[in-house]
Structure 1
């Protein structure tokens, strides 16, 4: 496996720019008001005693311009872990440089090296540039499943 030198695991000093990238992704996805991520939250999640989230960053001309935030999933049907990609984002001025593909390649390499059998993520139905990009890599949509989510008051009410 060839390692792309533009891609590496995130370091503590990358946290502020990763937070910026996540907020930029939220704005791109037309929901900036829903993104409340702070540097202290991300630092704890990525670098705390028991990290629950992992991140690869993409560098272009010495600057972090993209990231892939992910966590382990588990397939009861396959009996092994996989990776769930929570966020993939490359700054618009760095797109077309192959960094998006390189980030996904790094996650696929994590899967292969660790015997994980899935790399999954969600994409908004209107985001045709991303959908076309994912299809060009051989990814297939899982149209037979609908994602459900509980947040805010509904979550609080159910958990009360």
Structure 2
């Protein structure tokens, strides 16, 4: 990436599904979770561009090359009685890091949050990912001490729903 490279941020299109899938797989490997990645093109196409999209994606391009992505969706704050924006995944390919691509994606998400009347913009980060945590702190983010993420999935989810095998 040269000093004259152009960074462009745009909403993803259906034709971007293969690139989004490649970025998701690269993120899973980076996070040491490749073995958990079950995403495939048909599922992404259905959930991102189908009748009722579950999330949205921004694509970052540098001189026409896909450099990264941000996948986000709306949440809701009962205490604020306003929607929020939740960033599920942010990933910039290694060769494009340190050149403002991640910052541009985050700034665009902040603009979207404000334009949509969101009261907050949130995300989670792995506790071992010091470079990401440092990046987020430089953007003004604060850690939510005292809160831990909880998850029910797979068999536990089916059991909770009363649909266990």
TM-score grouping bracket, smaller chain normalisation:
over 0.9
Normalised by the size of structure 1, how large is the TM-score?
0.95
The answer to whether the aligner puts 1:59 opposite 2:61 as a matched pair is yes
- 1:15 and 1:60 mapped to 2: Cα distance? 18
| Number of the residue aligned with 1:16 | 18
Moved over 6 A (4+): none
Counting matched residue pairs gives 157
- 1:12 and 1:134 mapped to 2: Cα distance? 29
| Number of the residue aligned with 2:71 | 69
Aligned pairs for 1:87-98 within 5 A: 87-98=89-100
Aligned pairs for 1:6-45 within 5 A: 6-45=8-47
Normalised by the size of structure 2, how large is the TM-score?
0.92
Q: Match for 2:145 among 139, 143, 146? A: 143
Q: Check 1:85–1:145 CA distance in 2 against 1; reply closer, same or farther (3 A cut).
A: same
| Number of the residue aligned with 2:132 | 130
| Number of the residue aligned with 2:3 | none
Structure 1: gaps of 5 or more residues: none
Deviation at 1:5, TM superposition (A): 5.9
Deviation at 1:95, TM superposition (A): 0.6
Alignment RMSD = 1.2
Structure 2: gaps of 5 or more residues: 1-5
Q: Check 1:5–1:90 CA distance in 2 against 1; reply closer, same or farther (3 A cut).
A: closer
Q: 1:99-157 CA deviation, whole Å, 9 max, x = no partner?
A: 10100101000011111111100000000000000000000000111111011121122
SS at match of 1:73: strand
Deviation at 1:50, TM superposition (A): 1.6
